[in-house]
């Protein structure tokens, strides 16, 4: 008979993981919803800008985590795929050109251009994948880096789509007269542009996180991680390396395309220089600081690398970014995330999420010691090891252990 915490844990594990299986998950969801509604009603437009950008960044961080975190393929090319998504959105959703100098646009609905942004990015990923994924480790990293530079060149020169070096405008989602770039009435309540985007982006982010989370719990997700941990070993166990890598690459490109389209639409005007290597590196920093191979890690990382600097700006803690000498918010931001990468990789490879989990484990073990006078280390502590956490839900339950 086992009534200890470990026994309960194993019983929970032996059942298939469920989205809303237990009270604590319902509770988390409830608190999350209440916070979102509270934020929605009381926040100022500035805060909506910060939160919306952070949520878009979180979608892109998820995209990178699928490829680099879960599947272990080094990629510095995220900004290229984001740009593909953004320009697809602009081409399909942009206004029809009024003069021959204007960039092209077909004026289609958001219901077409937003999914299309993801699909086209995924298609481009599928085209490039077979070439890029032949390479391993840093060779892949450097080829994806080349992709960013080739992209910059293409975007500068394809001025009928990208507007050339001067950049172009990007469409706001619109349903008839209900356009997201202006204040509208929603069921008799006035909602600002930021609030409308919030209502659009939050569900997309939630869906993306849920989708990635579930894929990673599936056979495909386990294959991804097997490829990351040992390629040859995975192949010997029957994982089709090409399929697994391509799957991760395409899923990652799809999400990056969606994030790019949302970002461009929210910003409304972008020049091709925006999609540069720095952007890609910021996302790599985000998943390292947040937590590699983890959904919450992607969200936390985006908040740290993309949200925090804007919050610092918002409270004007430092002189605004400019090209001057000395410490300003832009420089401080770069300095902090450069140093954070080093510090986290050195001391906490699990990122902010790893820190949180470590604290939880510490609290739990303290409690246990008080209650039961110290039990020997048990198997659940494995998931709180330093390093990339082993997801306990993936471990096959030992037969008969749940009795």
Partner 1 sequence: MAYFFQLLFAGIAQGCVYALIGLGFSIIFKASEVINFAQGELLLVGTYIVSAGVFEWHLPFFLALGLGIVVTVIISLLFERFILRRMIGRPVFSILMMTIGLDIVLRTSVIIYWGSNPVPAASPFAITSGFNLGGVLFGANDLWTIGTTIVLCAALYYFLHYTKYGLSMRATALDQEAALAVGINIRSVYALAWGIAAFIATLGGVFLAIDSFAIDPTFGGVALIAFPAIILGGIDSVSGAVVGGIVIGVTQVLTAGYESHVTNIVGAGIHEITPYIIMILVLLIRPYGLFGTRKVERI
Long-range contacts of 378-382 (CB under 8 A, 24+ apart): 378/6, 379/6, 380/5, 380/6, 380/9
Fill in the DSSP letter of residue 376. Answer: P
Contact between 157 and partner 1 by CB under 8 A: the answer reads yes
Work out which of 71, 72, 88, 173 binds partner 1, going by CB under 8 A: 72
User: Is-contact 206 299, C-beta < 8 A?
Assistant: no
Minimum distance from residue 362 beta carbon to partner 1 (Å): 23
State in angstroms the smallest separation of the CB of 338 from partner 1.
3
Q: Are 257 and 82 in contact (CB under 8 A)?
A: yes
- For residues 218 to 237, the per-residue mask of contacts with partner 1, x marking binding by CB under 8 A and - elsewhere, is ------------xxxx--x-
Between CA 259 and CA 345 the distance in angstroms is 26
Q: In the structure encoding, which two tokens stand for residue 140, read together?
A: 């892949």
- Determine, following the binding rule CB under 8 A, whether residue 209 of this chain makes contact with partner 1: no
Q: Rule CB under 8 A: is residue 335 a binding residue for partner 1?
A: yes
**Which residues, numbered 285-314, are part of the site for partner 1 (CB under 8 A)?**
285, 288
Q: Which of 65, 68, 71, 310 binds partner 1 (CB under 8 A)?
A: 68
User: Does 127 help bind partner 1 (rule: CB under 8 A)?
Assistant: no
Judged by CB under 8 A, the residue of 337, 348, 350, 352 near partner 1 is 337
User: Would you say 98 or 323 has its CB closer to partner 1?
Assistant: 323
* Tokens read off for 67: 């490829």
Under the binding rule (CB under 8 A), the answer on residue 279 touching partner 1 is no
How far apart, in whole angstroms, are the C-alpha atoms of residue 364 and residue 5?
11
CA separation for the pair 156, 146 (Å, rounded) = 16
Which CB atom, from 194 or from 272, has the smaller least distance to partner 1? 272
The shares of helix, strand and coil residues in the chain, as percent rounded to the nearest 5, are: 70, 5, 25
Stretch that binds partner 1, among 50-58, 201-209, 255-263, 321-329 (CB under 8 A): 321-329
What CA–CA distance (Å, rounded) separates 289 from 312? 18
Which residues in this chain contact partner 1 in the complex, by CB under 8 A?
68, 72, 74, 131, 134-139, 141-143, 145-146, 149-150, 153, 156-157, 230-233, 236, 277, 281, 284-285, 288, 323-327, 331, 334-335, 337-342, 345-346, 349
């Amino acid at each position: 008979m086992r009534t200890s915490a470990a026994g309960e844990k194993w019983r929970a594990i032996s059942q298939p993981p469920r989205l809303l299986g237990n009270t604590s998950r319902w509770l988390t969801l409830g608190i999350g919803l209440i916070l979102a509604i509270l934020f929605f009603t009381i926040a100022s437009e500035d805060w909506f800008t910060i939160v919306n950008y952070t949520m878009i960044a979180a979608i892109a961080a998820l995209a990178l985590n699928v490829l680099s975190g879960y599947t272990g393929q080094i990629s510095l090319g995220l900004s290229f795929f984001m740009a593909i998504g953004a320009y697809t959105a602009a081409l399909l959703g942009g206004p029809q050109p009024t003069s021959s100098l204007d960039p092209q646009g077909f004026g289609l609905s958001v219901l077409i251009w937003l999914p299309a942004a993801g699909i086209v990015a995924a298609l481009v990923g599928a085209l490039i994948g077979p070439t890029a994924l032949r390479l391993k480790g840093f060779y892949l990293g450097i080829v994806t880096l080349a992709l960013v530079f080739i992209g910059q060149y293409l975007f500068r020169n394809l001025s009928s789509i990208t507007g050339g070096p001067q950049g172009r405008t990007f469409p706001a989602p619109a349903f008839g007269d209900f356009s997201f770039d202006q204040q509208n009435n929603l069921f008799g309540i006035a909602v600002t542009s930021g609030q409308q985007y919030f209502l659009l982006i939050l569900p997309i982010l939630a869906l993306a996180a849920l989708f990635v989370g579930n894929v990673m719990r599936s056979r495909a997700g386990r294959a991804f991680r097997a490829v990351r941990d040992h390629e040859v070993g995975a192949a010997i166990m029957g994982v089709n390396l090409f399929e697994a890598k391509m799957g991760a690459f395409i899923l990652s490109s799809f999400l990056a395309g969606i994030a790019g389209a949302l970002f461009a639409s929210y910003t409304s005007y972008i020049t091709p220089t925006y999609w540069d290597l720095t952007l890609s590196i910021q996302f790599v920093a985000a998943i390292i600081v947040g937590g590699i191979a983890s959904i919450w890690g992607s969200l936390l990382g985006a908040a740290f690398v993309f949200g925090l600097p804007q919050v610092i700006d918002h409270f004007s803690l430092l002189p605004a970014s400019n090209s001057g000498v000395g410490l300003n918010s832009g420089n401080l931001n770069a300095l902090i995330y450069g140093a954070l990468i080093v510090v986290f990789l050195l001391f906490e490879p699990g990122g902010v999420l790893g820190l949180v989990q470590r604290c939880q484990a510490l609290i739990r073990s303290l409690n246990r010691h008080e209650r039961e006078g110290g039990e020997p280390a048990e198997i659940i502590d494995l998931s709180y090891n330093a390093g990339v956490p082993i997801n306990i839900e993936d471990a096959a339950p030992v037969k008969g252990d749940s009795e």
